[in-house]
Homo-oligomer: A and B are copies of this chain.
Amino acid sequence: MTALYDVAAIGNAIVDVIATADDAFLTAEGLAKGAMTLIDEARAHQLYGRMGAGIETSGGSAGNTVAGVASFGGRGAFIGKVAADPLGEVFAHDMTALGAHFATPALARGPATGRCLINVTPDGERTMCTFLGASGELGPEDVAVEVVEGAAILYLEGYLFDPPRARRAFAKAAGLARGAGRLIALTLSDAFVVERHRAALLGFIEGQVDILFANEAEIGALFQTADFEAAATAAVGLARIAALTRGEWGSVVLAGAARHEVAAEPVQKVVDTTGAGDQYAAGFLVGLARGRPLDACGRMGSLAAAEVISHYGPRPRASLAALMRPSAA
């Protein structure tokens, strides 16, 4: 069956609140630098009150990836839960404005649209505190059959292992994609997420995942090792393709015995690393959906990651399709 979409992604539908902070602020607030911590509404209110002036922008890991897919000129679809409130409208507007398909019904009663409070330190590192809100209410009923079956690649974020009902949405989506002969990709999202759900993730990857995305900390947490090479070998033993990102050192793409070292795209100044992994996945998946070789997929990932870390915000500002054209190089 021809694919309606290059990538259909399922993830937490989140609006980001981005402010700058110094390391002392992270220490004072007891925040683990670079990590994502789940917080409740009361803590979100308290922390927001202590943060600096911010900008608000649609975010969410898989949502950012769909935005990147659209920026490459790819066809993306997103499944995630917002509330019927102003931030939910912003999220839906932005997704639709990108040309992506987004039709998950907004939550009529219950928590507000989820927010991620992001403090960016002068080194460009982002430290995230997420109040899941409505996004945690995503359930199997939200997994639109025609969207998942109609996408060349189903992309899932590890963050969805936290909200209990989302796990069932995962299972339904993976079953549909598998049944339709589609590829399934997963990002581990965060080392703490991996620690919390290690056994379940290992089982899911072994049984269902074709393409695994992870950074060094995440893949190390999954296989309980600080030895990157050992973790990489273990990863490609579970998934068909492993795309492992190493920050400024680029990425390693493994598939069976094949191994590609992909350099990071140079950037003038790292402003805000939010969305780097999400955009790497976007470039990689667009390449894969277009039948590009794996090293080219990795380079498309590097290109997208470099664009997004050179400014505030988790989604591309420049057209990634234009950046891909040799004339723009």
- Give the B-binding residues of A (Cβ under 8 A): 19-20, 48-49, 51-58, 67, 85-87, 90, 93-95, 97-98, 112, 312-313, 315, 317
Residue of A49, A56, A85, A97 contacting most chain B CB atoms (<10 Å):
A56
Q: Is the CB of A93 within 8 A of B48?
A: yes
Kindly list chain B residues whose C-beta atoms are within 8 Å of the C-beta of A87.
86
Q: How far is the CB of A114 from chain B (nearest CB, A)?
A: 13
Kindly list chain B residues whose C-beta atoms are within 8 Å of the C-beta of A49.
93
- Between-chain CB contacts (< 8 Å), 24 pairs: A19-B97, A20-B317, A48-B93, A51-B97, A52-B97, A52-B98, A53-B58, A53-B67, A53-B94, A53-B95, A53-B97, A53-B98, A53-B315, A54-B90, A54-B94, A54-B97, A55-B55, A55-B56, A55-B57, A56-B56, A56-B90, A86-B87, A86-B112, A312-B317
Q: Closest B residue to A17 by CB, please name it.
A: B90
Given A51-B97, A53-B94, A54-B97, 18 more pairs with CB closer than 8 A: A48-B93, A49-B93, A52-B98, A53-B58, A53-B93, A53-B97, A53-B98, A53-B315, A54-B57, A54-B90, A54-B94, A55-B55, A55-B313, A56-B90, A86-B86, A86-B87, A86-B112, A312-B317
Q: Closest B residue to A112 by CB, please name it.
A: B86
Q: Closest B residue to A53 by CB, please name it.
A: B94
Kindly list chain B residues whose C-beta atoms are within 8 Å of the C-beta of A58.
53
Residue of A86, A95, A112 contacting most chain B CB atoms (<10 Å):
A86
Q: Closest B residue to A98 by CB, please name it.
A: B53
Q: How far is the CB of A168 from chain B (nearest CB, A)?
A: 30
Kindly list chain B residues whose C-beta atoms are within 8 Å of the C-beta of A112.
86
Residue of A48, A55, A93, A317 contacting most chain B CB atoms (<10 Å):
A55
Kindly list chain B residues whose C-beta atoms are within 8 Å of the C-beta of A315.
53
Kindly list chain B residues whose C-beta atoms are within 8 Å of the C-beta of A313.
55
Q: How far is the CB of A321 from chain B (nearest CB, A)?
A: 15
